[in-house]
Amino acid sequence: MDEYVYVDGKKLKRGYTTGTCATAATVAALSMILNQEIEEKITVHTANGVEVTMNIHDPSFGEQTASAAVEKDGGDDADATHGLLIYSTVTLLPDQTEIEIDGGVGVGRVTEKGLANPVGMAAINPTPRRMIEKYVRDMLGPDCGARVIISVPEGEERAKLTYNSRLGILGGISILGTTGIVNPMSEDSWKAAITVELTQLYNKGYRSVVLAPGNYGEDFTTNVLGIDKSRIVNMSNFVGHVLKEVQRIGFTKVLMVGHMGKLVKVASGIFSTHSKDADARMETLIANLALMGAPMELLQKVNGCLTTESAGEAIKEYGYQAVYQILADKIKMRSERLLKYRKPEVVIDVVLFGSEEGYLASTRPIEEIKEEWT
């Protein structure tokens, strides 16, 4: 894979995720234990199979324990974690076979349900965990265990520049990455790529399209609803823009499938759903629960929640799950209203789900939607 990509005519440098950095630091630390010599560079494969060689910082080793760091390089799409040293400290556990992976200083802890990891676990996401475990197992073989602690000395301070605290991740940054590579891409070029995908689908003869605001929506659509992946377009946070493009291109039917925490914003008329633009998740829930006559105690509980998953627990406890149907209908109404005065007319259906509860509500019976779209 080339180190650079061209976006809007500009040559931009790719970067590496915190997950790739943590993996490389782990491999370096373990190599130093096994070889009893300093590692200055280490080569690993990212989650999507790209071979990368990374410089090692601050290496140290003993007979059973070693530590190494890799500097996070976000390329030309640098974020709050750019420049941080991601450390891995590896300790051999000869008397066991388990590989333990945990977070140390500067790696956040999950305090709210609905995220990729359960409450109490370090915010090291599943893909980096899997990559670290695979490398350690391959290097050690089946008969020896190890403890891997990922730490980021400046992580707690740098996390204040992220949305972690709003998501219920406290004490540091997250170790993230699904591919291991950071591809620089402006919002305009991202939107343009979505338009290309929609146009290709239209040119194949389709006049209906499934829109999902991310990977969770895609997974639910394919795994639960049974809809072929080729029918799905990932609209990311650009809900309003993509809906208008759908109409401009000529589609007449849309199925929006999304996690409650993302699509609930649309029920309040928020069509750019990135948290940097707007976040009225709890306000939307509280307003609609209040209109249902929900008690003040429930409204106050929801007001204190950081995620829609934790709010969902309170809603279930008080028996107000009917709010999800109201929200699904409002998302449909708001979305169709956005396109009302243009042609062609676009009919929109909505399916809402949660990480814990799964299916929550839809604008038509779910079996009817499955039958139509599969």
Let me know: does 362 contact 349? Beta carbons within 8 Å.
yes
* 259, 356: one domain: yes
Band of pLDDT at residue 12, cut at 50, 70 and 90:
low
Q: What tens digit of pLDDT does each residue of 295-319 get?
A: 999 999 999 998 999 999 999 999 9
Q: What tens digit of pLDDT does each residue of 16-74 get?
A: 889 999 999 999 999 999 999 999 999 999 988 889 999 999 999 999 999 999 999 87
Question: Among residues 133, 150, 182, which one ends one of the domains?
Answer: 182
Question: Nearest CA to 305 among 281, 289, 327?
Answer: 281
pLDDT recorded at residue 13: 62
Q: What tens digit of pLDDT does each residue of 139-186 get?
A: 999 999 999 999 999 999 999 988 788 778 999 999 988 777 666 655
pLDDT recorded at residue 53: 93
**H or E element in which residue 353 lies:** strand 347-354
pTM of the model: 0.67
| Residues belonging to the chain | 374
Question: Among residues 182, 199, 218, which one ends one of the domains?
Answer: 182
| Domain count of the fold of the chain | 2
The mean predicted confidence, pLDDT, of the chain is: 91
| 301 contact partners, CB below 8 Å, separation of at least 6 | 311, 314
* 143, 198: one domain: no
- Helix then strand count (H, E) for the chain reads 13, 20
Higher pLDDT, 187 or 277: 277
* 106, 62: one domain: yes
| Owning domain of residue 164 | 4-182
Cis amide linkage into residue 213, ω under 30° from 0: no
* 133, 198: one domain: no
Mean pLDDT score, 360-370: 97
* 154, 262: one domain: no
* 102, 225: one domain: no
The torsion defined by the Cα of 192, 193, 198 and 204, in degrees rounded to 10, comes to 120
Residue 245 CA to residue 253 CA, distance in Å, equals: 13
pLDDT recorded at residue 116: 79
pLDDT at 78 over 80: no
Mean pLDDT score, 257-269: 96
* 16, 164: one domain: yes
10 Å CB burial of residue 192 (0-12, 13-18, 19+) is middle
* 44, 104: one domain: yes
* 32, 143: one domain: yes
Question: Among residues 156, 182, 208, which one ends one of the domains?
Answer: 182
Q: What tens digit of pLDDT does each residue of 221-259 get?
A: 999 999 999 899 999 899 999 999 999 999 999 999 999
pLDDT recorded at residue 90: 98
pLDDT at 113 over 80: no
pLDDT recorded at residue 14: 67
